[in-house]
Amino acid sequence: MPNQVLTIEPQNELKFKGLFEQGYTTYMRLINPSSETVLFKIKTTAPKKYCVRPNSGMLEPNSKVEIAITPQPVYVDPNEKHKHKFMVQSVIAPEGKNNNIDQVWKEISPDQLMDYKLKCVFETPRGTNLNDSGDNAAQNEVTKKRVAVADEAKATLKEDVEGLIQNEAKRRKDDEHTGPLSAKTTTLPKSENVENDLQKASLEVIHLREEESKLRQENLQLKEELLRLHQSAGGDGRVARPHSYGPEKQAQVPSLPLVAAAVVMALIGIVIGKFFM
């Protein structure tokens, strides 16, 4: 493996000021003192924990570039932090292939790559190294802040839950005082109307049944009367009148000759009238 042609600042450690979660940016400078065009890439053991801009590129002869490295605002285990490392990987750009950098990285032989590694160091604003004994104090401070935030959230949630319980109890209490009374006042007239309608309907049914019974009795009487008339009929097919109608028949017999005489006289009068005319 060839020696790194780039000059890298800082040389051994990337120092980050403050806590990891605060995301303070640190810078790495790459310098190309050679007369060759150099391609570079920045790699890390924790790619999801850092934002690196730019993370690759090309350095012309006697040029330089600054790389901004920013920790992501996430919690990282203190035991994990001093295992984080960065590596600067570089290679001399082949002639005529500077326009297709991605293709160069795919085709390059591992023996041509130049690597340079740096470890990460986190410092408090006072200069205490968090990778040493001060790391526990910083962790305790972060833990205390998180516990305080969690307690505050729990207290707020508890107040909200208690408020909901009180509102529900008050609503139920109001329903007990007002709900049933209003229900009675609204449903009572309706139930009384229904009962009155049922009573009227039942009376009408009873009345109709009585009328039906009377009609059946009258029908039976008429049938019996008709049967008696058929049974008392004479041999000539004429119906014999009951004894109670006897006087009326006798009163009608003398009136038949008078009716015949009146008809004859009327005919005679008509004939005489036509004769004289």
CATH of residue 80's domain is 2.60.40.10
Phi-psi region of 237 (alpha: psi -120 to 50; beta: other; left: phi over 0): left
* Structural domain contains residue 37: yes
Indicate whether 187 belongs to any domain: no
Domain annotation covers residue 222 = no
CA 220 to chain centre: 72
115 within 8 A of 4, measured Cβ to Cβ: yes
Asked if residue 250 is part of any domain, the answer here is: no
- Each residue's pLDDT tens digit in the chain (277 positions)? 678 889 999 999 999 887 776 778 999 999 999 999 999 999 999 999 999 999 999 999 999 999 999 998 877 787 787 789 999 999 998 887 666 788 888 888 888 899 999 999 888 665 444 454 445 555 556 566 665 666 676 677 767 767 777 777 777 777 666 655 444 444 445 556 767 777 787 787 788 888 888 888 888 888 888 888 877 775 454 544 544 444 444 444 455 666 666 776 777 767 666 555 5
Q: Contact at 8 Å (CB) between 79 and 139?
A: no
Domain ranges, residue 77: 7-100+115-123
User: Is the Cα dihedral 48, 51, 57, 63 positive or negative?
Assistant: negative
In a domain, 57, yes or no: yes
Give domain status of residue 119, yes or no.
yes
The alpha carbon of residue 37 and the mean position of all alpha carbons in its chain are separated, in whole angstroms, by 61
106 inside domain: no
Domain count of the fold of the chain:
1
